[in-house]
Amino acid sequence: MIEKDWELLLQLYEEGTITKTAQKLYISQPALTYRIKQIEKEFNTKIIYRGSKGVHFTNEGEYLVQYARKMLKELHKTKDNIENLKEDVQGTLRLGISSNFALYQLPVLLEGFISKYPNVEINLTTGWSSNVLQLLQGEDVQIAILRGEHNWSDAQLTLNREPISIASKEEIDLSELPNLNLIRYQTDAGLKQTFDGWWQHTFNVRPRVSMEVDRIETCKELVKKGLGYGIFPSISLKDEDQLHTFDLTYNNQKVLRKTSMLYRKEFLDLNVVSAFVNFIRDFYHIRE
């Protein structure tokens, strides 16, 4: 097996079908099937069965998936360490970033970082904070920037804390919220729990949800048309949106959403990781 075979097995395990895996790897289905047969021939064992709903891995196949994950991780470490021997800051920086942070703040950060360190290649994965944390725990990424509170025992820096706000096209009375249309968007469990906790503390009835959409920007555009109100972290609200907002409070304290950078201290031995951590420290004026 070679590196491409390891990647193939992991992708197939994640996607669960030959069709989707071939699309993700930009190869034909016959070519993918041929590589699987070659792996099976090399190990003289069956690694998958094809069913009506996709592929199913045998015990031997499951073992090879774990082997592939381990080998790719070791390969990444080897490449990182070799790049680290060079004097210039270069190599691949593997980042896992919360989707909202990636949408509203990451571009300017990466622009500044790459301008300072042009020989660094960025490998970026975005998603809900809970999923990104799993990538960090599995060492699939070296640094994670997450939203909300998370259980992490290694290095952690708080970048900022921002209010969570209710936004609407026209000014509204807080006491009238239960009678108004709420537009919801899909988000991670942490933010949803924060809002639900505030609502239950403030009202004794359920919110009147009129629309549910998959993206925060879709929700905001609907709010801008006056179709309802939304609850947004202030990172997503701009002056040009021209929305009326007020911050959520709990026991006379603003309800805040934390953004943190998490990483393993041992990775600071890598120049590219150390450079990014220091860059973020300077950007957010962190002296801790």
Q: What is the CATH number of the domain that holds 49?
A: 1.10.10.10
pLDDT of residue 52: 79
Domain assignment present for residue 288? The answer is no
Same domain, yes or no: 95 and 218: no
Give the chain's residues under pLDDT 50. Answer: none
Same domain, yes or no: 33 and 10: yes
Q: What is the CATH number of the domain that holds 193?
A: 3.40.190.10
Same domain, yes or no: 270 and 247: no
What's the structural domain count of the chain? 3
- Domain limit, last residue, from 56, 80, 104: 80
Same domain, yes or no: 36 and 50: yes
Same domain, yes or no: 184 and 51: no
- Domain limit, last residue, from 80, 103, 120: 80
Same domain, yes or no: 49 and 91: no
Same domain, yes or no: 241 and 116: no
Same domain, yes or no: 96 and 155: yes
Nearest to 79 by CA among 138, 123, 24: 123
Domain assignment present for residue 129? The answer is yes
Each as own residue / partner, the long-range contacts of residues 253-258 (CB below 8 Å, 24 or more positions apart, any chain) are 254/163, 255/163, 255/164, 255/194, 255/198, 256/161, 256/162, 256/163, 256/164, 257/147, 257/148, 257/161, 257/162, 257/163, 257/164, 257/191, 257/194, 257/233, 258/147, 258/148, 258/149, 258/158, 258/160, 258/161
pLDDT of residue 113: 96
Same domain, yes or no: 120 and 10: no
- Domain limit, last residue, from 64, 80, 96: 80
Same domain, yes or no: 22 and 139: no
Same domain, yes or no: 105 and 71: no
pLDDT of residue 54: 86
Task: Kindly report the pTM of this predicted structure.
Answer: 0.73
Domain limits at 206?
A: 163-256
